[in-house]
Structure 1
């Protein structure tokens, strides 16, 4: 399966606060917030949901097509992605804007406060995703969190061209209203979200879980330390627990890595259970390092961990598709 990935392509500036945000924030004063957190570290990493998901798919050997807009400062990042199996021919360079930038501060509880500068991503809506899909024999377009106008255009163009698409709002659930969300969901082959985003989507759209399952092929909900759940209309949910003994370091990009693992296993024709398992294994690679693309994916250690977490049969089925 050839997968095209859209959404943000960004540089991540990641910081760690050696305390809990909740010790500083006062519930009765949240209408007038002015706080500062002294951080002990700064890591500058490659990121953006489209960049992260493409990187994971590339490491798994799927040769994804990355589609989006960047600045002239993207050259080193482009070379990095191409070295890891990503086709960047769908990336256009802005004449005036820098590549997008994500800035995040995480506390010791895994909570995160972040901001995002869109930069060149604001030009994504000029891209003809249907033409890219046709030219590159794309079988699925993942429409990740990015420029809202581009998300709407990509979804409409995929629907009109009959190209299957996956909806993944991620951080954009805070920006999008119900009227904007509904057309992004309706007809999606996959809808990805976490538990919080699940609740926000249902609240803003006014659609119940059953209503959403009538409109999407598969709903994938990540559950953090509890693993993930997959739902389809008329079928019992498939729930898979987490990888045991994961060592939490920094969470940015873990959800993106899950998506790359889930989609890779699906493209290989593996079961939903295996897809969740590989998604969980990929997410742990990110959780145990700093930066969403700093992990080193090796078939041997991945297979061994799959065996410990999910059994020999799961490890065997996943290993059969891994690229050395």
Structure 2
């Protein structure tokens, strides 16, 4: 299955301040704040929607084509992704901007002060999907993840015009997108991904109710946090798949991306929606057990053993035939 994954490409700079932001703020001077925080730690993590999802597919044995915009500083990141089966040949490299960066400082009360530098991500709007399809001999699915808003609309319009099946995953950009843009991104999608809050936001901003959304998409996949995931299709009973049991909770960042990677991998193997969701939930559990969105390691035998523990021997047997 020839899959293109579009979305943001970013680096996360995560710092910790061994104090409380509130202690440094003077109420009478909030109109003229000038503060500097001496931080204890700095963690630089690979991030971005497109790399997170592509990495997950890669460790499951797929070779997704990642589509997005990065800066000239992308080469180390490119090498990491290619080492994990990700095709990065369609990444646009900006001549003037750095790769997008998320910079966040967290205090001892877990309050955060953060900035996001868009950088090269703004140039994703200039990327065409046809050259990607020509290079791969066609596209069976385009996953359109959170990215530059104009890029998301453009990719959707091109996929629709050229007959590429696409999955809509607007997630973090829903707050920025207006109702018309959301309609453009969602209408005609083979799959619509969101969490519960985002699902409500889609309906609020578009004016569509659940039935109207299901008229416009092949399947609506809504993650439910600790309750798992719900799959809805027009005229079909809802499917609910529970979470796989985690052994520890280290970091929830990127869990949704891990689910999407596993779900799409399951579809590419020809599994049904329920089984694909089980693969997605199992991969998401590996993500939550690890600090960093791409720091987990997938060992096939251990993955299959845990899949059997959570979803039964039949599930593990089906996936074993595909995972190897």
Query: Common fold, TM-score beyond 0.5?
Result: yes
Correspondence for 2:57: 57
Report Cα offsets for 1:128-166 as digits up to 9, x if no partner.
Answer: 113312331221101100011111110001100011111
CA distance in 2, matches of 1:304, 1:272: 21
CA distance in 2, matches of 1:152, 1:192: 16
CA distance in 2, matches of 1:111, 1:190: 35
> Is 1:289 aligned to residue 294 of structure 2?
no
Relative to structure 1, the CA distance from residue 281 to residue 299 in structure 2 (aligned partners, 3 Å threshold; closer, same or farther) is same
CA distance in 2, matches of 1:167, 1:240: 20
CA distance in 1, matches of 2:274, 2:92: 37
Deviates more, 1:112-121 or 1:256-265: 112-121
CA distance in 2, matches of 1:112, 1:316: 44
Aligned pairs (5 A) from 1:1-324:
1-14=1-14, 41-104=41-104, 115-136=115-136, 137-323=138-324
CA distance in 1, matches of 2:303, 2:19: 32
Report Cα offsets for 1:165-209 as digits up to 9, x if no partner.
Answer: 111011101111111101100001111000111111111111101
Deviates more, 1:168-177 or 1:100-109: 100-109
Report deviation, 1:39.
7.6
CA distance in 2, matches of 1:66, 1:269: 21
Would you say the 8 A contact 2:12–2:45 is kept in 1?
yes
Report deviation, 1:37.
9.8
TM-score (norm 2): 0.89
Would you say the 8 A contact 1:68–1:90 is kept in 2?
yes
Report deviation, 1:220.
0.6
CA RMSD of aligned residues (A): 2.7
- Partner of 2:322, secondary structure, is coil
Note the residue ranges of structure 1 that are not aligned, 5 or more in a row: 25-31
CA distance in 1, matches of 2:109, 2:285: 16
Would you say the 8 A contact 2:102–2:115 is kept in 1?
yes
CA distance in 2, matches of 1:273, 1:62: 20
Report deviation, 1:52.
0.5
Report deviation, 1:103.
3.5
Relative to structure 1, the CA distance from residue 110 to residue 196 in structure 2 (aligned partners, 3 Å threshold; closer, same or farther) is farther
CA distance in 2, matches of 1:205, 1:187: 15
CA distance in 1, matches of 2:243, 2:172: 23
Report deviation, 1:111.
9.6
- Partner of 1:255, secondary structure, is helix
Note the residue ranges of structure 2 that are not aligned, 5 or more in a row: 24-30
CA distance in 1, matches of 2:205, 2:36: 31
CA distance in 1, matches of 2:110, 2:315: 29
Report Cα offsets for 1:94-142 as digits up to 9, x if no partner.
Answer: 1100001123567999998754321101111111113312331221101
TM-score (norm 1): 0.89
Bigger radius of gyration: 2
Report deviation, 1:43.
2.1
